[in-house]
Amino acid sequence: MSILKSFFMAILLASVAVYADTKPIDMHSFFYYEDVAMNRFGGESYKVERADGKALITIDEDHPLSGTIEADAGIFNEIQNIVDKYNMHKYKAEYKPGMPVFDGGSWALGASYDDRNKNIRSRGINEAPKNAREAFGAIEALFQPYRDKL
């Protein structure tokens, strides 16, 4: 009996380990990204919320753009494609340099899913994941057409 119990326990633990490393799916209702530079006109943020089957995109830049645009909820699929391509679900919660830096910038991103255990929350101050330049560039490119509408 003990061998059988150990066998089932091993299968259960293996399935939990596989589940914990799977990519999140079905973005629920919210995504945000912000990038803030330490200068007078640096910084931007993009927020997408699901509302009545549509997406509300809020763009806020220090100068001169800011506003909210209604869009097709399909943007959540486009965001998820970026999250998957750059493995953002594996980003650490926080990135920071090993020594104090008194100038520079910060960033943050997050995504909410039906399964709260799969939510993404990550931020950094003068430090980022290795693929951040490409990943964040893809996010900014996705929102460029909406920026152009403001």
- Other beta carbons less than 10 A from residue 125's beta carbon: 16
pLDDT on residue 118: 82
In the prediction, which pLDDT does 8 show?
A: 35
pLDDT score recorded for residue 81: 94
pLDDT attached to residue 5 = 40
Residue 124, pLDDT score: 94
CATH of 24-149, one of 2.60.40, 3.30.1560, 3.40.30, 3.40.1350: 3.30.1560
Burial class (CB in 10 A: 0-12, 13-18, 19+), 65: middle
**Spatial separation of the C-alpha atoms in residues 123 and 129, rounded to whole Å:** 10
What is d(CA 101, CA 93) in angstroms, rounded to the nearest whole number? 19
pLDDT value for 89: 92
Q: How far apart are CA 38 and CA 66, in angstroms?
A: 19
Give the pLDDT confidence score for residue 92 in this predicted structure.
96
Query: Which residues in the chain land under pLDDT 50?
Result: 1-24
Distance, in Å, from the CA atom of 112 to the CA atom of 12, rounded to the nearest integer, reads 27
- Residue 13's pLDDT is 35
Measured distance CA(128)–CA(86) in Å, rounded: 13
pLDDT at 102: 76
For residue 43, what pLDDT is reported? 82
Q: What is the pLDDT of residues 113-137, one digit of tens each?
A: 877 778 999 999 999 999 999 999 9
115: three-class secondary structure by DSSP: coil
Ranges of each domain in the chain: 24-149
Question: Terminal CA-to-CA distance of the chain, rounded, Å?
Answer: 68
